[in-house]
């Protein structure tokens, strides 16, 4: 006879444990007039009921009547019918998990009271309530272990919440509550239960994220003192990692039911043997689920089965489509440019009941978790890292390579407003790193925000009708200031003739400030740049002071859609105005030149960081020398800051601009060029190397050129905002 068969024949007690049901008792099919007998009611529920008839004790590790939209609806409108499901299936207790704690308080209390009236305690051993909220604990079994009789065996049931559980629910749901340390609560309740004559002690904890639940329950088991260890410790969310394990210390054994499934646990007293195996689903229909559907289905469909006024579908919608739609509505509800949603928030197998329209019941079915929304301001670098490294999240608005946000080049040091689920903001699944200061969105949650958005009358498909930050105007301001200094100090009282000592004392100081303002819209682009450069050189012998300055303003307006959708090869018409003044003086005797240019032409952008402009231009110059007016052509090649190298938060970036003009009867040619290299130092401080070239040729004569090279320190920042 095999060991398994021997254990079955000699079982002292049998316990059936369900996990991850999440209130998914029956799914709405309002298009055909009621609920469908799927989900929990299709196979697992009748298997639990059958096991109870065979003498098993049935418990749930958290969320049995919570999460699903159907369960939430029933908690508000028919709490007695909802509690009757647990009673009809034969549950002896339900454990309070984080989802139960996060559920709206009054409906949850109503369900707990109905369960208590049916003698099915909701167990939360380490939960404590202050005087103003004692009605919460009055509806629960808290403090000590719950003792139940199963045949001739007295079983103690203990359920604890993790120490951080109250930080992961809304303030209004955690107010007045506190938690005893989980290990201390299990040890205390175990000792008390054994003193009261318990033959078996079973404890459970609802740890998350699920990916770390098995490791955390092992850590918890290791903390328990020898006289405070239960016989079995259940891990509510570890079913994907753990079925059964017995640590070297023998007690407690560890077990977990698959999410949305159940395990059948058999105990044999003589040798403290435990057999754990998955509970096979049954083919029979569970009558309590049928009764629940008949009692709640018509009211649910009357309230939520009608088509939403903005839910017209022009093409099929699947689970991925619903995920993007929900993320977009969350983004709009939070006035955020990016939304981060875990893919598990939507049923990947989702299909609406009607192919041409959405109803609220569709959303309750496809989105079982109505998680609250939170929002934070984060850097472009933070968002780029999320897009590149996170596989189980939808980062709506950021390209997969992290280079663009809503179709525009990312600003690594810019600030973006991001919406996410509270579950993720508070560390769920370990998906988001700590750092951002997340704050709740007033009255905002994932499913509710989408339902409210689709309640507004709209003939277009919601995928096109919902606001999109890619269609908004983005304003970016980039001010920076460079400081440059150099000094030569000579002391030569002996009148030595070495070249290094034969120079004069020279001190040069200068600065350059740039101010760039850009308004970026899908239809047009308005770019503005201002420059002020000043240098002063003091020479000791012969004594002289030289001043040089350059001021310029460039404003460009580009139309992006005249020749079709924006693309690397799509020409974009633009108009531009450019004004420049330049002066030089020695000992207050100087010259000044003024130049103005207007141009109109076409712009190509083969890369988001690179643009080429070709235009007809009219240029007027006045000041020293003969005034001149020239009709000609202008060409520009611009490279916006391009990251060449990166190490941590430091990067090296290059930028460049070449502006060439040729015009007049003598084909006068002028070239203005700038190239810069920037190395991040600390915070907004950078080291900058720059080269500036001015070259001119009139007719067939030779080119005259002036090349200025400089090095200095730059203080810069980026401020951006969106009209979304």
pLDDT in tens, 310-334: 999 999 999 999 999 999 999 999 9
pLDDT for the residue 269: 62
Q: How far apart are CA 536 and CA 658, in angstroms?
A: 26
Hey, which residues does 514 pair with through a beta bridge? Answer: 480, 531
pLDDT above 50: residue 582: yes
Return the pLDDT at 202: 96
Residue 33's pLDDT is: 56
The whole-number pLDDT of residue 9 equals: 41
E strand or H helix at 194, and its extent?
helix 182-195
Taking only the tens place, the pLDDT of each residue in 120-167 is: 999 999 999 998 899 999 999 999 999 999 989 999 999 999 998 887
Read off the tokens for 423.
């579950």
What pLDDT does residue 4 have?
43
Please tell me the predicted confidence (pLDDT) of residue 521: 92
| pLDDT in the model for residue 37 | 53
Least reliable range by pLDDT among 242-246, 254-258, 269-273, 613-617: 269-273
Tell me, what DSSP letter sits at residue 355?
Answer: T
Query: Does residue 433 sit in helix, strand or coil?
Result: coil
3-state helix, strand, coil in the chain (%, to 5): 25, 40, 30
In the chain, % of residues over pLDDT 70: 94
pLDDT band at 282 (very low <50, low <70, confident <90, very high): confident
Q: Can you list the pairs that 691-696 forms with residues at least 24 positions away whose Cβ atoms lie under 8 Å?
A: 694/670, 695/669, 695/670, 695/671, 696/668, 696/669, 696/670, 696/671
Per-residue pLDDT at 44: 87
318-322 CB contacts, 8 Å cutoff, 24+ apart: 318/350, 318/351, 319/346, 319/347, 319/348, 319/349, 319/350, 319/366, 320/348, 321/463, 322/346, 322/350, 322/363, 322/366, 322/367
- Looking up tokens 């949305």 gives 260
By the 8 A CB rule, do 158 and 148 touch? Answer: no
pTM above 0.75, yes or no: no
Question: Taking 90 as the threshold, does the pLDDT of residue 463 lie above it?
Answer: yes
- The confidence score (pLDDT) of residue 168 equals 75
Q: 218: helix, coil or strand?
A: helix
Residues 303-309, mean pLDDT to the nearest whole number: 87
In sequence order, what are the residues at sequence separation of 6 or more whose Cβ sits closer than 8 angstroms to the Cβ of residue 459? 312
Per residue in 79-90, pLDDT tens?
999 999 999 999
pLDDT at residue 100 above 50? Answer: yes
Contact 656, 676 (CB under 8 A): yes
Q: What is the pLDDT of residue 1?
A: 34
Contact 533, 484 (CB under 8 A): no
Q: Residue 275: which region, alpha, beta or left (left: phi > 0; alpha: psi -120 to 50)?
A: beta
* Confidence band, pLDDT 50/70/90 cuts, at residue 432: confident
Structure-block tokens of residue 165: 């559980």
What mean pLDDT is predicted for residues 357-385?
Answer: 88
Return the pLDDT at 586. 85
Q: Flag whether pLDDT at 69 surpasses 90.
A: no
pLDDT of 293 reads 84
User: What is the per-residue pLDDT across 200-236, written as a single tens digit (0 to 9) for each?
Assistant: 999 999 987 666 788 889 899 999 999 999 999 999 9
Question: Cα separation of 480 and 715, whole Å?
Answer: 6
What average pLDDT is seen over the chain? Answer: 88
For the segment 633-671, what is each residue's pLDDT rounded down to a tens digit? 999 999 998 989 888 778 899 999 999 999 998 899 999
Q: What is the pLDDT of residues 158-202, one digit of tens each?
A: 999 999 888 777 777 888 999 999 999 999 999 999 999 999 999
What is the average per-residue pLDDT within 562-567? 86
pLDDT band at residue 544 under the 50/70/90 scheme: confident
Strand 91-95 and strand 57-60: pairing? parallel
- Residue-wise pLDDT tens digits, 34-45: 565 555 666 788
Burial class (CB in 10 A: 0-12, 13-18, 19+), 627: exposed
What residue has token string 């179709």?
Answer: 407
Could you tell me which residue, 630 or 174, shows the higher pLDDT? 630
């Amino acid at each position: 006879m095999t060991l398994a068969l021997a254990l079955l024949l000699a079982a002292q007690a049998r316990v059936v444990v369900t996990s991850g049901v999440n209130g998914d008792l029956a799914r709405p099919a309002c298009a055909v007039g009621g609920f469908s007998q799927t989900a929990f009611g299709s196979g697992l529920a009748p298997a639990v009921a059958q096991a109870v008839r065979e003498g098993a004790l049935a418990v749930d590790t958290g969320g049995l009547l919570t999460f699903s939209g159907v369960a939430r609806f029933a908690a508000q409108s028919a709490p007695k019918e909802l509690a009757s499901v647990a009673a009809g299936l034969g549950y002896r207790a339900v454990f309070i998990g984080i989802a139960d704690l996060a559920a709206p308080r009054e409906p949850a209390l109503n369900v707990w009271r109905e369960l208590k009236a049916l003698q099915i305690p909701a167990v939360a051993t380490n939960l404590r309530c202050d005087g103003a909220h004692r009605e919460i604990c009055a509806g629960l079994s808290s403090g000590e272990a719950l003792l139940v009789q199963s045949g001739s065996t007295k079983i103690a049931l203990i359920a604890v919440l993790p120490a951080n559980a109250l930080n992961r629910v809304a303030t209004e749901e955690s107010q007045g509550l506190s938690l005893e340390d989980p290990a201390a609560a299990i040890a205390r309740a175990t000792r008390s239960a054994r003193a009261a004559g318990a033959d078996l002690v079973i404890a459970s904890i609802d740890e998350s994220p699920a990916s770390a639940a098995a490791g955390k329950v092992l850590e918890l088991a290791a903390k328990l003192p020898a006289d405070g260890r239960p016989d079995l410790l259940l891990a509510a969310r570890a079913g994907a990692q753990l079925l059964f394990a017995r640590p070297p210390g023998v007690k407690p054994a560890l077990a977990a039911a698959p999410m949305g499934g159940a395990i059948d646990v058999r105990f044999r007293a003589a040798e403290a043997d435990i057999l754990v195996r998955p509970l096979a689903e049954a083919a029979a229909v569970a009558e309590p689920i049928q009764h629940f559907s008949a009692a709640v289905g018509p009211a649910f469909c009357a309230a939520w089965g009608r088509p939403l006024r903005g839910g017209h579908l022009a093409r099929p919608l699947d689970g991925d489509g619903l995920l993007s739609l929900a993320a977009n509505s969350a983004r709009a509800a939070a006035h955020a440019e990016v939304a981060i949603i875990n893919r598990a928030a939507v049923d990947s197998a989702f299909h609406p009941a009607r192919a041409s329209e959405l109803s609220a019941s569709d959303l309750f079915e496809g989105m079982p978790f109505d998680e609250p929304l939170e929002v934070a301001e984060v850097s472009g670098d933070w968002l780029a890292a999320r897009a590149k490294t996170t596989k189980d999240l939808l980062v709506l608005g950021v390209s997969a390579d992290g280079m663009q946000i809503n179709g525009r080049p990312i600003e690594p040091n810019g600030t973006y407003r991001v919406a996410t689920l509270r579950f993720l903001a508070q560390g769920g699944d370990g998906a988001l790193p700590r750092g951002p200061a997340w704050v709740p969105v007033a009255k905002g949650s994932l499913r509710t925000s989408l339902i409210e958005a689709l309640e507004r009358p709209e003939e277009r498909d919601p995928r096109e009708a919902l606001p999109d930050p890619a269609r908004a105007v983005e304003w970016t301001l980039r001010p920076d200031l460079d400081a440059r200094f150099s000094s030569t100090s000579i002391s030569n009282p002996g009148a030595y003739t070495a070249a290094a000592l034969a120079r004069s004392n020279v001190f040069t100081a200068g600065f350059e400030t740039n101010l760039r303002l850009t308004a970026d819209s899908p239809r047009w682009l308005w770019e503005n740049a201002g420059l002020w450069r000043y240098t002063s050189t003091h020479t000791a012998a012969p004594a002289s002071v030289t001043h040089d300055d350059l001021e310029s303003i460039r404003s460009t307006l580009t139309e992006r859609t005249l020749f079709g959708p924006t693309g690397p090869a799509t020409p974009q018409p633009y108009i531009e105005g450019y004004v420049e003044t330049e002066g030089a003086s020695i000992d207050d005797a100087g010259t000044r030149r003024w130049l103005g240019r207007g141009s109109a032409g076409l712009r190509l952008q083969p890369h988001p960081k690179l643009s080429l402009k070709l235009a007809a231009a009219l240029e007027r110059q006045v000041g020293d020398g003969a005034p001149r007016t020239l009709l000609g052509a202008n060409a520009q090649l611009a490279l916006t800051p391009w990251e060449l190298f990166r190490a941590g938060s430091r990067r090296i970036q290059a930028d460049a601009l070449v502006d060439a003009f040729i015009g007049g009867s003598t084909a006068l040619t002028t070239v203005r060029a700038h190239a810069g290299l920037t190395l991040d130092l600390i915070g907004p401080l950078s080291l900058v190397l720059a080269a500036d070239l001015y070259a001119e040729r009139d007719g067939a004569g030779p080119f005259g050129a002036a090349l200025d090279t400089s090095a200095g320190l730059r203080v810069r920042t980026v401020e951006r905002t969106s009209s979304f």
